[in-house]
Amino acid sequence: MGIDEKRTRFPCLATVRYMVTAVVAVLTVVVAVKVITVDLRPEDVELSILQGHIEASTLWRQRETEISPPRLQVSRRHRRPCDDDDYEIQPGLGVNDAGSSDDSCAESRLPSTVMTYEAAASVDLGVTLSAYNPSGRVDIKCTGITLRVVDMPDLARNTTGTMEIVRFPLPRGFLVKRQSSHTVRRWMRVTDARVLSYLASTYAGRTSFTATVQVNATIASVTVVKRTNPKNVSHWCSVVTVGLDEPSTTADAVHCKAREEPPYLFGSVLLAPAPALPAT
């Protein structure tokens, strides 16, 4: 009978269908599990500081100070044509520093005022961070991003004089779509009195210095199936210029390297006299 025929034919078809569905489902699960368990590597997101430049509102405060009367008399008596209004004495840098190209002139006349440099009330630093996702398959979510600007005067050798200028979390994370980049520009304010006086005494009269930027972030890939486990990564960007000038639009970006340690072995200087350069 017709009904019996249906009963005998269709269960077979249904079983085949069921098996095919099951196999597809299992394959899907296998693929999904693979996507989920593949952890991102720190270098999966490429960070850089655009133009390799951090714009500074100021680095110090300048003050004109009268010098003592006896010196003033001497300077008037020996006034010569080589005098110029721009000449200034920079305490700490030596009298001849500014006019070292013409010592006889510099010695023969002294200005009635000297410039002194003191800590600024605050310093604003503007930095542009760019994140690029080279992957063609996954979008990368970056969260918990923290930037740290560190002055490392003796970058190649040891931590002598290392000073953290500012540490600053980005208020929001962002998604870096596959094969695209995301750029954020932030201003961070330095108000730490110790840092402000360090800048004034170290870079008195100068308009720029070089620094290193550390960027920490938590990255996770986002696919249609599921996201990977978030991974904390650290990148070091060196050497970046901190300067009063606006960044040159043609300057190259400084690419950050994914690594836990700064460009040299950090911390070992406390015990070792001169740590060897790590092989990079």
Ligand X SMILES: *[C@@H]1O[C@H](CO)[C@@H](O)[C@H](O)[C@H]1NC(C)=O
Catalog residues that contact ligand X under the rule CB under 6 A.
144, 146-148, 154, 157-158, 160, 167, 214, 216, 218, 232, 234, 269, 273-274
3-state DSSP helix/strand/coil percent for the chain, to nearest 5? 25, 35, 40
Three-state SS at 39: coil
- The one-letter amino acid code at 169 reads P
Q: Smallest distance from the beta carbon of 258 to ligand X, in angstroms?
A: 12
Nearer to ligand X, 87 or 266 (CB): 266
Q: 116 or 212: whose CB is closer to ligand X?
A: 212
Nearer to ligand X, 92 or 144 (CB): 144
> CB of 167: closest distance to ligand X in angstroms?
6
Are the beta carbons of 150 and 161 closer than 8 angstroms?
Answer: no
**Token output for 109:** 């006349």
28-55 burial, b if ≥16 CB within 10 A, otherwise e? eeeeeeebeeeebebebbbbbbbbbbbb
Distances (CA, A) of 217 to 12, 227, 235: 55, 16, 9
Question: In the bound complex, what is the minimum distance in angstroms from residue 269's beta carbon to ligand X?
Answer: 5
Q: What contacts 174, CB < 8 A, 6 or more positions away?
A: 131, 141, 142, 182, 184
Q: How far is CA 22 from CA 13, 26, 91, in A?
A: 14, 6, 82
> In terms of CB distance, is 183 or 229 closer to ligand X?
229
Closest separation between CB of residue 100 and ligand X, Å?
23
**Token code pair at residue 1:** 């009978």
147 vs 195, beta carbon nearer ligand X: 147
Decide if 219 contacts 233 (C-beta within 8 A).
yes
Residue 249 CB, nearest approach to ligand X (Å): 27
User: Among residues 120 and 149, whose Cβ is nearest to ligand X?
Assistant: 149
Shortest separation between residue 215's beta carbon and ligand X, angstroms: 7
